[in-house]
Amino acid sequence: MLKLTPGRWASLGALLAIACLAGWWMLLRPATATDLIGLFPDGEAPTLYVDVAALRATGLLEMLAGKAGVEEPEYRKFVEASGFDYRRDLDAVAMRVRSTDTLLVLKGRFDAARLAAYAKANGGRCTPDVCTIQGSAPERQISWIPMKRQMLALAVAQDPLAVALINPAPRSVSRPLPESPVWLEVPGSQLHGGPGLPPGLSALLSSLDGADRAVLTAGVDGVGFALEMKATCPEPAKAKEIAGRLMQMTDMFRKLLARENQKPNPADLSGLLAGGEFAADGLTVRGKWPLSKILLTSMLGK
C-alpha cells in the first residue's frame, strides 16, 4: 500500500492546483477558430469561417453590411427584442453546410434570457437547454443552445432539434486552419458545380473536380483585397491538370472579352475573372484573384 508522506501530499496538492488552474484558464480563454470548428460533428462538408471582430476592427464590416439603420424592419425588431446585433455583438461565426442541415457556432455576446423570450413571443419553445422556433419555411426549423465561453450553437434544418448535432465540447482538429479572417473549405466530394450556385463559383468548383479538398481565403493584399485558393490533389499529374483547366478557363474568358472589344473592368466581375493566376506545385494547386475595393463596393451596391 502506497504511503502518502507529507512530501507526496504536497506533490498531489500541487498537481490538483495545476489541474484547477488549467481548467479555469480553458474556461476564460477566448474561443479560437479551432475551438469553433471542433464543435462540429465528424464528417466532410463545406465549412465557412468569418472573423467578424477582425472585419469590424478594419472597417470592412461596415463596408460589407452598410451603415447601421439600413436593415430590414424585421431585423430591427429582432435586435430590439433580443438585444443582439451582429454589428456590435458578433465576433466570429463558423458554418458547416450538410445535405439538409446548416450548423453554426457563433462567438460573441448573447443574452440567453432575452433570446428565449424572443423565441416564446414568436411561437417558439424553450427548455432550460435548448430553444426552437419556426423559420421562414416549414423545413427551416431553427434551434439553438447557449454555450460556455461566449458561444452559441445554432442549427437550421428540418429537424427542430438539429442543434444537438453540435458537440458540447470541442474535439481536436487534425489539420491546421487558415489564418485568413474569411475562409471556405470544400472537401473533394463537394467540388462540382450545380444549380443554385453563383455562376462563377459553380465554374470554379467544376474546374477543381478531382482534388482532395480546396480552401478559398479572402484577405487584404496591398491596396486592395485578394481571393486565394489552395487545392490539394492525390498526385502531381492531377494538380497540373487542374491548374491547366483553370488557366484555360481564364484564357477563354479573356479572349471572349477581346472578341467583344472589351477590356477587364476592375469595377465588375470581368476584372476578377480575367485576373486569375494559377500554378501547380507538387500536389498543390494555387490560385489568386485580385479583388479591388471598387469591385467590392460595386458588388455590394454601395
What residues make up the domain containing 73? 30-165
Evaluate whether residue 289 is within a structural domain.
Answer: yes
Do 185 and 213 meet the contact criterion of CB atoms below 8 Å apart?
yes
Which of 183, 273, 269, 266 has the alpha carbon at shortest distance from 229? 183
Segment 174-182 long-range contacts (CB within 8 Å, at least 24 positions apart): 177/33, 177/34, 177/37, 177/49, 178/49, 178/215, 178/217, 180/217, 180/218, 180/219, 180/228, 181/50, 181/51, 181/54, 181/55, 181/218, 181/219, 182/49, 182/50, 182/51, 182/55, 182/217, 182/218, 182/219
Q: Examine the domain organization and report whether 145 and 188 are in the same domain.
A: no
- Rounded Cα distance, 276 and 14, in Å: 58
Q: Examine the domain organization and report whether 159 and 45 are in the same domain.
A: yes
Evaluate whether residue 171 is within a structural domain.
Answer: no
Q: Examine the domain organization and report whether 149 and 196 are in the same domain.
A: no
Evaluate whether residue 152 is within a structural domain.
Answer: yes
Q: Examine the domain organization and report whether 161 and 187 are in the same domain.
A: no
Q: Examine the domain organization and report whether 224 and 276 are in the same domain.
A: yes
- Rounded Cα distance, 121 and 113, in Å: 12
Evaluate whether residue 148 is within a structural domain.
Answer: yes
Evaluate whether residue 13 is within a structural domain.
Answer: no
Evaluate whether residue 9 is within a structural domain.
Answer: no
- Rounded Cα distance, 156 and 121, in Å: 19
pLDDT, position 29: 46
Q: Examine the domain organization and report whether 243 and 208 are in the same domain.
A: yes
Residue that terminates a domain, selected from 101, 134, 165: 165
Per-residue pLDDT of the chain (302 residues; tens, 9 = 90+): 444 454 433 443 334 333 333 333 333 445 789 999 999 998 888 999 999 998 888 877 777 666 555 556 766 777 888 888 888 899 999 999 987 889 999 999 999 999 999 999 999 999 988 999 998 888 889 999 999 888 999 999 999 999 999 998 888 888 888 888 899 999 998 887 665 566 667 778 888 999 999 999 987 665 567 789 999 999 999 999 999 999 998 999 889 888 888 888 777 777 778 889 999 999 999 999 887 767 666 555 44
Q: Examine the domain organization and report whether 254 and 210 are in the same domain.
A: yes
Q: Examine the domain organization and report whether 217 and 291 are in the same domain.
A: yes
Evaluate whether residue 274 is within a structural domain.
Answer: yes
Residue that terminates a domain, selected from 165, 197, 226: 165
Q: Examine the domain organization and report whether 98 and 135 are in the same domain.
A: yes
pLDDT, position 16: 39
Strands 102-108 and 151-157 come out as: antiparallel
- Cell, residue 268: 465588375
Do 231 and 211 meet the contact criterion of CB atoms below 8 Å apart?
yes
- Rounded Cα distance, 220 and 251, in Å: 26
Tell the residue number behind the cell numbers 423565441, with chain if given. 119
- Domain total of the chain: 2
pLDDT, position 139: 86
Q: Examine the domain organization and report whether 118 and 198 are in the same domain.
A: no
Residue that terminates a domain, selected from 165, 200, 228: 165
Which of 285, 48, 32 has the alpha carbon at shortest distance from 184? 48
Q: Examine the domain organization and report whether 119 and 202 are in the same domain.
A: no
Which of 218, 213, 215, 152 has the alpha carbon at shortest distance from 188? 213
Which pTM value belongs to this model?
0.81
Three-state SS string over 114-148 comes to: HHHHHHHHCCCEECCCCEEEECCCCCCEEEEEEEC
Evaluate whether residue 15 is within a structural domain.
Answer: no
